[in-house]
Each structure stands twice: as structure tokens, then as C-alpha cells.
DNA sequence: CTGCATCCGGTTCGATACTG
DNA sequence: CAGTATCGAACCGGATGCAG
């Protein structure tokens, strides 16, 4: 277990680090942000996130599902209709990711030339 | 520019998304967390973050430096002495990353069996 | 519409050896 | 101690084709 304010090493075997590592992925972040506006279908996510392929979307959603951050709801109709939404935990994380995103955008707005650097 | 609460797509060319994407990396997150305790040397970071190679550390630090989140200080002595520390912006981001980390650890502590899922 | 299986090129990454 | 250079292996990720 790694924790701040202690001299502990960040053990690769730590379950918390494993999860953090899974979240540390660009598609994961973008999907979490996208889902903040509400439940969405596969196609909608695909259309909304530029550059995201079907393969990576499915893979990302499955991972988020396994980690309990996203809920998948299947409506048994034809043609198939599937919706994805954030769980409570997912919303918590997504909120924090959004804060990072906001900080970045504010930061860039303030320094149009470069990144966050002065 | 992508932003929450708007129907905008998450444009791959958006500078904010580019930066978010760079932060969405496991070593970046871990290094930011590690540096929260204060300035650190190359070797210390290497020792502290299990599984981190010299190559990836350098690469990660260079990236964070370019984005203005980490400051590199070189003391001109032999043997060489270099210290890395968070900038103001770096601390902001690191704080948010730490909140994600905390949430994860609390969540796991509450549900030892599985992940964040209920 | 949703999603899986396969292929395969590009990138990443770790190990090692070397420099100042 | 800090960092670079090189190389081969592993992984990632997109394209395509197929299925329920």
C-alpha cells in the first residue's frame, strides 16, 4: 500500500496502485468525462470522442465495468440498445478527472502561448 | 476544445485534451504523487517507485518539465546532484491525483473483496 | 446497433552498456 | 550520481470482417 506523507515505496503489487494504473489511460479519462453528462450509447460515445475506435471503446468500457465505475444496461430489443452510465464511484472519479480537465483548460486559457508553465 | 456539460465532441486536436492525455500515464501519476512529499533526487524516485526504470523516469520527468509541472534544479558539484520538485501547477494537479488515489484506497478498504463496486 | 476475433504495423519499454 | 544510446521483445491499438 502506498500512501502520501509516508516514506513507503509505491509497491507494484499494491491493489490501489493497480487500479490507479488502470485509470491512468487516456481513453478511460475521456470516457469518464463524456459519461458525466448522463447515460450514453456505444455509438454516441464513439461519435463524441474523436479518434476513439470501437475496439478501444469496448475494451475501455469493459475495464470500467470490472472496476465498478460504469454500469452497462442492455435493453432486449432489435436492433440492440445498450446504455452506459457512471456508477456512484464512477461519478466520484469522473468529478476529479473533470477538475483536472478544468484546471488544464483554465491554465491554457491563462497562458495561451505555452502549457501550464509561466 | 472539449468541455463538460456541452454537446461538444472531444476533439483530438484540442490542446487541453493533449495535455490531459499526457497526464493519463501511470508513471506520470506515480511521480506526481511521490513528489508531493517534497523535492527528490533521481535515485530517490527510482528507489521509491517500484518497477520504474531509469529510462522511463527520465522520460517522464522531461515531459512533466516541458508541461511546467515539475522543476529541475541542478547543483554543480561532483558527484552530480539534481533535484526535482513540483511547481505550483504541479502541486495542483498532484493534489487532485492524490484525491483520486485516496478515493481508491478508501474504496478498497471498504470493499476488501472487490474493487470499488458495491 | 452492438460487439467479437483476427491480423499486423508501430510504438513503447526494459535491459544493458557507456559517458560526464 | 545522473543521464544517454542502442536493441530486441512485448504490448498497444487500428483496420477489417463477421455475428447476434
A2-33 pLDDT tens trace? 544 445 678 998 999 999 999 999 999 999 99
Is A54 or A117 the better-scoring residue by pLDDT?
Answer: A54
Distance in angstroms: CA B55, C1' D4? 9
| Residue in the block written with cell 499494491 | A14
| Residue in the block written with cell 511547481 | B87
Return the C-alpha cell found at B15: 490542446
Q: Is A84 helix (H, G, I), strand (E, B) or coil?
A: strand
Global pTM value? 0.89
* Contact (Cβ atoms closer than 8 angstroms) between residue A29 and residue A3: no
Res. A57 pLDDT band, cuts 50 70 90: very high
pLDDT of the residue at B10: 85
| Residue in the block written with cell 493497480 | A18
Gap between the Cα atoms of A97 and A107, Å rounded: 15
What residues of chain B, 33 to 72, have a C-beta less than 8 Å from chain A?
A: 33-34, 36-37, 47-51, 66-69
Is B8 or B78 the better-scoring residue by pLDDT?
Answer: B78
Is residue B9 predicted with pLDDT exceeding 80? no
Fold of A40-109: Arc Repressor Mutant, subunit A (1.10.10)
Amino acid at each position: 500500500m502506498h500512501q502520501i506523507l509516508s516514506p513507503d515505496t509505491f509497491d507494484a503489487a499494491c491493489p490501489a496502485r493497480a487500479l490507479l494504473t488502470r485509470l491512468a489511460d487516456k481513453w478511460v479519462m475521456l470516457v469518464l468525462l463524456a459519461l458525466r453528462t448522463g447515460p450514453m450509447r456505444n455509438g454516441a460515445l464513439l461519435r463524441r470522442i474523436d479518434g476513439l475506435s470501437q475496439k478501444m471503446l469496448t475494451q475501455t468500457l469493459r475495464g470500467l465495468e470490472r472496476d465498478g465505475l460504469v454500469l452497462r444496461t442492455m435493453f432486449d430489443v432489435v436492433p440492440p440498445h445498450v446504455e452506459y452510465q457512471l456508477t456512484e464511484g464512477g461519478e466520484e472519479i469522473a468529478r476529479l478527472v473533470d477538475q483536472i480537465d478544468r484546471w488544464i483548460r483554465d491554465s491554457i486559457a491563462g497562458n495561451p502561448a505555452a502549457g501550464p508553465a509561466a
